[in-house]
Amino acid sequence: MSQGPDGLRRPVRAGRALIVIPVAWIVAVSVIDVLAPPHIHLGPLLVAAPAVTPSFGGPRTVGVVAALAVIAQTVIGVLRDPDELLSANHEAQIIALVLVGTSLVIFCVLRERRAKELMQVRYVSEAAQRVVLPPLPRQLGPLRAASLYLAAEAEAQIGGDLYAAARTTSGTRLIVGDVRGKGMTAVSDAALLLGAFRVAAHRQAGLGELVAYLDRSVCWDLMEPGETARYGETFITATVLDIPDRDGRVQMVSCGHPPPVVLRNGRPMTMDALHPAPPLGLGELADPRYHVESFPFDPGDLLLLYTDGVTEARDSTGTCYPLAERITGWTENDCDAFLGRFRRDLLHHVGGHLDDDAVMIAIERPAPPRA
């Protein structure tokens, strides 16, 4: 197998078979040109052979085809009229073939170098994602979970969206969030918040105290030396949940993040916060009070968490993805199956490419087995 410029594997045999096309073109043009009347010249058509070769071949293949085209142009001149080989017109055609062939070889070399760089970037970003954003465990106590991260950038698999889960003695704490901005700064801020959450979520402090600690953690980072210009400009929207192991209401603190959705028997219910707090990182400016709200999450329900990359995904007409409308009637009980359908439906809505990163998390509280 060989590596194509787009990072996909391409069979070597297929590339070798396709080389027959430019070679056959060179032979056909040469034969016809030699047999054609003296006033007809088809030699300039030889440039098409090396021109199409980069679509399936590398620098060596392109160089070989270009050399064959130059040789063919020379042979045409010898067979038609030896004196014509020394004519300015024929020399110009040979020089043009050499220049085009050389340019295409250079292009293929740069293309392969770029492909290797992209592969390395993807490798590094995937490694970073495994460290910063590993997939949620399939089992969180009695809960079943599945997570999916869709990156908008083809070169990277991680951005400013974040999620994490932590087990406590009585349940599971979850956070899903979205850092304002893009690039490595957003990744750094996401890693900072996730680290603070993983450290503090195991403590027995209430959910309000946990969110206040996370807000201070983000603010401390913004006030470090050299970063004062970012104060008040960088923030993180987030929803923090506490899901009890036993049947009970889920506790939630919403910090400017899209609301969770509970899917019950195919009917979605949006859990809007009555007293939302400002995004994390703005606490020093707003002096917020973190109201802990709650909503039911019964056996058999499926809890959906997501970032605004989902609800703000637009189709060709500019229409945002209508989340509640699209998932109405979905009865998948398996988290992975639900997210698989969710992913396909979202990408179909946007035509296959997202403009912003998107996180999707499905949490299921299994129904008790029937007697």
Tell me how far CA of residue 77 lies from CA of 35, 51, 96, 139, 274, in angstroms. 12, 22, 15, 75, 85
Share of the chain above pLDDT 70, in %: 84
Nearest-angstrom CA–CA distance, 119 and 156? 10
Least confident range from 12-21, 122-131, 185-194, 319-328: namely 122-131
Phi/psi of residue 116, each to 5°?
-65, -40
Residue 183 has what pLDDT?
65
pLDDT for residue 73 is more than 70: yes
pLDDT for residue 151 is more than 70: yes
String of DSSP letters for 15-82: HHHHTHHHHHHHHHHHHHHHHS-TT---GGGGGHHHHHGGGT--HHHHHHHHHHHHHHHHHHHHHH-G
Residue 319 has what pLDDT?
93
Q: Mean pLDDT throughout 137-154?
A: 86
Residue 3 has what pLDDT?
45
pLDDT for residue 5 is more than 50: no
Summarize pLDDT for 166-199 with one digit per residue, the tens.
999 889 999 999 988 766 677 778 888 998 999 8
pLDDT for residue 9 is more than 50: no
Q: Please report which confidence band the pLDDT of residue 202 belongs to, taking 50, 70 and 90 as the band edges.
A: confident
pLDDT for residue 222 is more than 60: no
In angstroms, the first-to-last Cα distance of the chain is 54
Q: Mean pLDDT throughout 218-225?
A: 63
Nearest-angstrom CA–CA distance, 43 and 25? 11
**What number of other Cβ atoms are within 10 A of residue 24's Cβ?**
11
Residue 297, both tokens:
């999450």
**What number of other Cβ atoms are within 10 A of residue 172's Cβ?**
23
Summarize pLDDT for 300-347 with one digit per residue, the tens.
999 999 999 999 999 989 999 999 999 999 988 789 999 999 999 999
What three-state secondary structure class fits 130?
helix
- The whole-chain average pLDDT of the chain stands at 84
Q: Mean pLDDT throughout 71-95?
A: 76
User: Where are the extended beta strands (E) located within 86-202?
Assistant: 139-140, 143-150, 161-167, 171-179
Residue 368 has what pLDDT?
74
Distance of CA 57 to the CA centre of its chain: 27
Spatial contact of 357 and 151, defined as CB atoms under 8 Å apart:
yes
Residue 6 has what pLDDT?
41
Residue 58, both tokens:
């590398």
Contacts of 363 (CB under 8 A, 6+ apart): 140, 143, 144, 145, 174, 243, 302, 303, 304, 305, 335
Least confident range from 72-81, 125-134, 223-232: namely 223-232
Contacts of 276 (CB under 8 A, 6+ apart): 254, 255, 256
Q: How do the residues of the chain divide into helix, strand and coil, expressed in percent and rounded to 5?
A: 45, 20, 35
DSSP-derived letter for residue 317 is T
Sheet holding 293-296, edge to edge: 161-167, 171-179, 236-244, 249-255, 293-296
Residue 8 has what pLDDT?
41
Least confident range from 82-86, 100-104, 179-183, 219-223: namely 82-86
Q: Please report which confidence band the pLDDT of residue 367 belongs to, taking 50, 70 and 90 as the band edges.
A: confident
Nearest-angstrom CA–CA distance, 132 and 147? 14
Residue 197, both tokens:
């959450």
Highest mean pLDDT among 4-18, 22-36, 273-287: 22-36
Summarize pLDDT for 45-56 with one digit per residue, the tens.
899 999 999 988
Closest CA to 175 of 201, 146, 150: 201
Spatial contact of 258 and 307, defined as CB atoms under 8 Å apart:
yes
Spatial contact of 363 and 306, defined as CB atoms under 8 Å apart:
no
Residue 7 has what pLDDT?
42
- Residue with the larger pLDDT of the pair 87 and 323: 323
Tell me how far CA of residue 114 lies from CA of 6, 101, 126, 284, in angstroms. 10, 20, 18, 45
